[in-house]
Amino acid sequence: MRLSFTYLFLLLALISLGPWTAEPAAQDQSPEVNLARIEGRIGGRTAAYVERVISEAEDSGVGAVVLELDTPGGRLDSTQEIVEAESNAGNVAVLTYVAPRGAQAASAGTFIVMGSDMAAMAPQTRLGAAHPVDASGRDILGTLGEKATNDATALMTGLAGAHGRNEEWAESSVRESASVDAGEALELGVVEHIEPDLDSVLEAVDGETVEPKGITLRTSGAAVVEKPMTFAERTGVPPYALWALAALAALFLLSVSLTYRRMKRWRVSTGSEGMIGEVGIVRRPVASGVGGLVFVHGERWRAFPEDRNSATIKTGAEVKVVALRNGSVIVRPVTDAKGSDGPGKLRE
């Protein structure tokens, strides 16, 4: 009864305090920023990762995504996918931050910076050198090279113009592989901020409105939620393949287990234990004390009578194996009486 009153009291307390406790939580809720780290070469898995992080931000109502970059470049087609994800996220501002100190956003990374709504760099970082090359890193020669360069130039200058950045330098980064450090990038109007860490970036951009999306950033004191790559994004192994491998492993283990059990049962039924109940033929008289020989289970066995006081079992008589003892079989005669074992019965 005392426990019942205690539970009732706690329930009433929760009901009465519920509205009061919920309100401060809502009032104290701080803005969130999702963080994706792009490290190493850019490829299809990188593009899928960035697209997922931006999509999740749109679905959950997060106002900003930060792409932290440290990349020597990568595939242009994957970079195009990332740029499209940046541009088409109408309700999410995408910020790029080249970091940490010593990092770079070279080649493909420069396109990503130019496609972002707000760009920042850490001190002692660099970007540029965006001239297109082939898979081995060599210049693309002839008409194909000219086409690739013109197309990349149009993309880079278009992104720079859409976000109010230096189009002239953007073109030179493609045609002449121009590169700049953080200070030069800020001075030339390639990026908007130089900050030592991400918290400083979020404080610096708070209240600014990014174009062409028209989103005003609310990032001061924002909670940074890091979105790491999934296993599939890191390795390129899709989830269904993992499930398939797990299923195959489970089937293999089940098969091994069943085979082991069958073999164990087979050993029992075909080994010496399996002889109990078998009917054999006496080949040499079986007498108490001295024993005899019987042919059973396809083999000749030394045999002793079950009843030590019984008469000698003669050659040609049928006997049933009732036990095993010290490598010999213990037998009893097969009788013809009703209710007993009859001749010709091979197993019970």
What is the model's pLDDT at position 297? 78
* Whole-angstrom distance, CA of residue 128 vs CA of residue 177: 7
What is the model's pLDDT at position 87? 96
* Whole-angstrom distance, CA of residue 74 vs CA of residue 84: 16
What is the model's pLDDT at position 267? 55
pLDDT tens per residue, range 62-82: 999 999 999 999 999 999 999
Among 19-23, 189-193, 270-274, 342-346, name the most confident range: 189-193
The mean pLDDT value for 52-64 works out to 95
Q: Is the pLDDT of residue 177 over 70?
A: yes
* Whole-angstrom distance, CA of residue 166 vs CA of residue 159: 10
What is the model's pLDDT at position 98? 98
Stated as kind and residue range, the H or E segment containing 118 is: strand 118-121
Which position has the higher pLDDT, 5 or 249? 249
Degrees, nearest 5: CA angle 159-163-169: 60
State the pLDDT confidence band at 326, using cuts at 50, 70 and 90. Answer: confident
- At the topology level of CATH, where does 29-229 sit? 2-enoyl-CoA Hydratase; Chain A, domain 1 (3.90.226)
3-state secondary structure of 254: helix
The mean pLDDT value for 43-58 works out to 96
Q: Is the pLDDT of residue 262 over 80?
A: no
State the pLDDT confidence band at 269, using cuts at 50, 70 and 90. Answer: low
**Range scoring the smallest mean pLDDT among 107-121, 156-170, 263-277:** 263-277
What is the model's pLDDT at position 19? 39
State the pLDDT confidence band at 29, using cuts at 50, 70 and 90. Answer: low
**% the chain with pLDDT above 90:** 66
- For the question of whether the overall pTM of this predicted structure is more than 0.75, the answer is no
What is the model's pLDDT at position 344? 42
Average per-residue pLDDT in the chain?
A: 86
* Domain 274-333 = CATH 3.40.50.300: no
* Whole-angstrom distance, CA of residue 145 vs CA of residue 60: 42
Phi then psi dihedrals of residue 313, to 5 deg = -85, 120
The mean pLDDT value for 15-29 works out to 42
**Range scoring the smallest mean pLDDT among 79-93, 99-113, 272-286:** 272-286
What is the model's pLDDT at position 258? 81
**% the chain with pLDDT above 70:** 85
What is the model's pLDDT at position 120? 98
State the pLDDT confidence band at 266, using cuts at 50, 70 and 90. Answer: low
Q: Per-domain residue ranges for the chain? A: 29-229, 274-333
Q: How deeply is 72 buried, as exposed, middle or buried, from its count of CB atoms within 10 A (0-12, 13-18, 19+)?
A: middle
**Hey, which residues are catalytic here?**
107, 147
The mean pLDDT value for 36-47 works out to 96
pLDDT tens per residue, range 110-154: 999 999 999 999 999 999 999 999 888 888 899 999 999 999 999
The CA-based dihedral angle spanning residues 123, 129, 135, 139, taken in that order and rounded to the nearest 10 degrees = -160
What is the model's pLDDT at position 310? 85
Quick count: other Cβ atoms within 10 Å of Cβ 108?
28
The mean pLDDT value for 195-220 works out to 96
What is the model's pLDDT at position 277? 86
Which position has the higher pLDDT, 328 or 190? 190
What is the model's pLDDT at position 293? 94
Is residue 313 a contact partner of residue 291, using CB atoms and an 8 Å limit?
A: no
